[in-house]
Amino acid sequence: MEISRRGILQISALGVVIAGLLPRMAFAARNSVRSMRTGVQPNGKTRLVIETTARPSYSLIYGENTLTVRLSNAAADNAIEKKWASGTLVKSVSQVQDGDALNVVATLNRSIAEIPKNQIMVLEPNGDNEYRLVLDFVAGTKTAVASTKTESDTSDTDTPKKQIAKKHIIVIDAGHGGKDPGCIGKGGTKEKTVVLSIAKKLQTQLQSAGFIAYLTRTGDTYLKLNERASIGEQRRADLFLSIHANANPSRSMKGFSVYTLSEKASDEEAQKLADAENAADKIDVSGFEQFSKDIRIALSSLQQHAVAEMSQEYANGCARAFNRASIEQQPGPAVRHAPLAVLRSTVPGALIECGHLSNKSEEKLLKSSAHQDKIVSAIVRSIKNYDFEV
Ligand SMILES: [Zn+2]
C-alpha cells in the first residue's frame, strides 16, 4: 500500500477527537467496525459513516486517491454490515489490519487534490447507533466555488455585503513567563522570551491586516493556564493562539507542530508535550487536580464539539501555511491533539510549537528576527485563510 502525506498540503481536513472517558483504565476495550455506509447529501457531498463499537481514536493518512482512517487498538471484522449508495465519491472501502491498528482505506474515484474540502467528526452513540466517524467529501475546485458565489452575490441585492465583515478578534498567548521560563536552549535561549517576541510581532501584523489582536501578557509575567484561556473568553475572541517553542531529549529533533485540544493525546509525543506544557500550572498548584475533570466537562457540551471542529480546521490551515513558508515540520503528523489546559475554553484555538529550542540550529533560527518574521507571516496567512463564519 502506497501512502503519501502530500495530500495534507492540498486539502483541508476537519477532524475532532473527543477521546475516552476513563483515562485511568489499565486497558481499553478493543475497537472494531460495526458497519459502514455511504450516502449523498442534498448539497452533493458524499458522506461516509464508519460505525465503531467503542469510541474511536484515529488519525488520517492521505494518499493519491485514498483516505485512510487509522483506528488505534482496533481489529478488522469482515462480516460487518455495509450499505453503499450510488453516485458517491467513494469507490470502495477496505479494512487492513496493521498490528494493533486497523486501517480503513477509502478509495475515492478521483484524486484527493480534486476534493478541496473534506471533514470528519465523531458522533456519540444514539438510538441504535454506536459511535460514528462521519467523513464528508465535497468535490470541485476552490476557484469554481468562489466564482459561483461572486456571481450570485452581485445579482442578489438582498445578499448582505460580506466585505463589510466584522473585525475578528484574535487573542495571542505568549507561553510561559515570569518564574516559568518554559524550555531553555543549549545556548541559553528561553522559550518565554522568544515566544513573547513572536507574539508581539504577530499582534502588530494582525492589527495592520485589519484584525483586533490582544496579548495575554505583554511583559515577563507569569499567568496560570486557565487565566490565559479565560482572557480569550473575556475578549470574546474568535481565535485563541498559544505560541510556544519545543524541547526534545533528542537534540536532533527539529520542526514545528500544531496542537488542538483533546482529552486524550493523539500520540506519545503529544502526551509528553501536554505534560510539559501543563506543568506550567504545577508551579502554582491550585486548581490543577480539577484540570482533567474540567476538560471532560468542557468537551461534553455540544458547543465544545463545534469549537473542536473549528480549532481543527484552523490547525490544519496553520500547518499548511507553515509548510508553504518552508518552515521545517517535526516528523510525524503536523497537527496533533493533546489535553492542553491553555486551550480549554469556548474559543476555537490552537497551540503552535514554532520549533525546537533543544536543537542547536533551530535555537539560532528561533532567536533571529528574520525567522520570527517568517513564522509571523505564516500565522497571519493562516488567519486570513481561516473561515471565521463556519
Ligand atoms: Zn511551551
Nearest to 187 by CA among 242, 251, 253, 274: 251
Q: How far apart are CA 261 and CA 259, in angstroms?
A: 7
Nearest to 311 by CA among 282, 274, 336: 336
Same domain, 57 and 125: yes
Same domain, 12 and 86: yes
pTM of the model: 0.58
Q: How far is the CA of 58 from the centre of ligand 1 (A)?
A: 25
Same domain, 96 and 211: no
Q: Give the model's pLDDT for residue 280.
A: 77
Same domain, 12 and 131: yes
Q: Give the model's pLDDT for residue 357.
A: 97
Q: What is the CATH number of the domain that holds 227?
A: 3.40.630.40
Q: How far is the CA of 232 from the centre of ligand 1 (A)?
A: 18
Q: How far is the CA of 22 from the centre of ligand 1 (A)?
A: 27
Q: How far is the CA of 276 from the centre of ligand 1 (A)?
A: 7
| The last residue of a domain, from among 100, 122, 141 | 141
Within 10 Å of residue 330's Cβ, how many Cβ atoms? 19
Q: Give the model's pLDDT for residue 77.
A: 86
Domain total in the chain: 2
Q: What is the CATH number of the domain that holds 27?
A: 2.60.40.3500
For every residue of 271-334, DSSP letters joined together read HHHHHHHHGGGGGS-TTSTTHHHHHHHHHHSHHHHHHHHHHHHHHHHHHHHHHHTTPPBPSS-S
Adjacency order of strands within the sheet including 101-108: 58-62, 66-71, 101-108, 90-98
Same domain, 27 and 132: yes
Same domain, 217 and 363: yes
Cell reading at 13: 481536513
| The last residue of a domain, from among 141, 159, 181 | 141
Q: Is residue 241 part of a domain?
A: yes
Q: How far is the CA of 303 from the centre of ligand 1 (A)?
A: 27
Cell reading at 238: 474568535
Q: Is residue 149 part of a domain?
A: no
Q: How far apart are CA 228 and CA 242, in angstroms?
A: 9
Q: From residue 245, how far is each of 58, 144, 274 by CA, in Å?
A: 26, 39, 13
Same domain, 217 and 116: no
Strand, coil or helix: 55: coil
Q: How far is the CA of 183 from the centre of ligand 1 (A)?
A: 7
Q: How far apart are CA 72 and CA 379, in angstroms?
A: 31
Distance between terminal CA atoms of the chain? 35
With both helix axes pointing from N to C terminus, report the angle between 191-208 and 369-385 in degrees, rounded to the nearest 10.
50
| The last residue of a domain, from among 94, 121, 141 | 141
Q: How far is the CA of 387 from the centre of ligand 1 (A)?
A: 27
Q: How far is the CA of 204 from the centre of ligand 1 (A)?
A: 22
Identity (one letter) of the amino acid at 338? A
Q: Is residue 338 part of a domain?
A: yes
Element (H, E) at 242: strand 239-246
Same domain, 229 and 321: yes
Q: How far is the CA of 333 from the centre of ligand 1 (A)?
A: 19
User: 3-state DSSP helix/strand/coil percent for the chain, to nearest 5?
Assistant: 35, 30, 40
Nearest to 54 by CA among 72, 78, 66: 72
Q: Give the model's pLDDT for residue 104.
A: 93
Q: How far is the CA of 63 from the centre of ligand 1 (A)?
A: 33
Same domain, 232 and 330: yes
Q: Is residue 333 part of a domain?
A: yes
Same domain, 41 and 189: no
Ion ligand 1: residues, CB within 5 A, are 175, 182, 244
Same domain, 371 and 241: yes
Strand, coil or helix: 71: strand
Q: Is residue 148 part of a domain?
A: no
Same domain, 187 and 47: no
Q: How far apart are CA 313 and CA 348, in angstroms?
A: 10
Q: How far is the CA of 378 from the centre of ligand 1 (A)?
A: 19
| Domain region containing 334 | 169-385
Q: Is residue 2 part of a domain?
A: no
Q: From residue 147, how far is each of 81, 155, 390 by CA, in Å?
A: 41, 13, 19
Q: Give the model's pLDDT for residue 363.
A: 98
Q: How far is the CA of 277 from the centre of ligand 1 (A)?
A: 5
Q: From residue 307, how far is each of 18, 211, 215, 237, 334 by CA, in Å?
A: 12, 20, 21, 12, 20
Q: Is residue 150 part of a domain?
A: no
Q: Is residue 46 part of a domain?
A: yes
Q: Give the model's pLDDT for residue 1.
A: 34
Nearest to 307 by CA among 266, 262, 346: 346
Helices assigned H by DSSP within the chain: 7-10, 142-155, 191-208, 225-234, 268-278, 291-300, 302-324, 360-367, 369-385
- What is the full per-residue pLDDT of the chain (390 aa) written as tens digits? 333 333 222 222 333 333 333 333 334 568 999 999 998 876 677 888 999 998 888 887 777 888 888 898 999 888 888 888 888 889 999 999 999 999 999 998 888 777 766 677 777 776 677 888 888 887 764 333 322 233 333 333 333 333 345 689 999 999 999 999 999 999 999 999 999 999 999 999 999 999 999 999 999 999 999 899 999 988 989 999 999 999 999 999 999 999 999 878 888 888 888 888 888 776 554 444 454 555 555 444 555 677 888 899 999 999 999 999 999 999 999 999 998 989 988 889 999 999 999 999 999 999 999 999 999 999 999 999 998 864
Residue 186 and residue 358 in contact, taking contact as beta carbons nearer than 8 Å: yes
Q: From residue 68, how far is each of 12, 62, 101, 102, 328 by CA, in Å?
A: 15, 6, 12, 10, 25
Residue 64 and residue 141 in contact, taking contact as beta carbons nearer than 8 Å: no
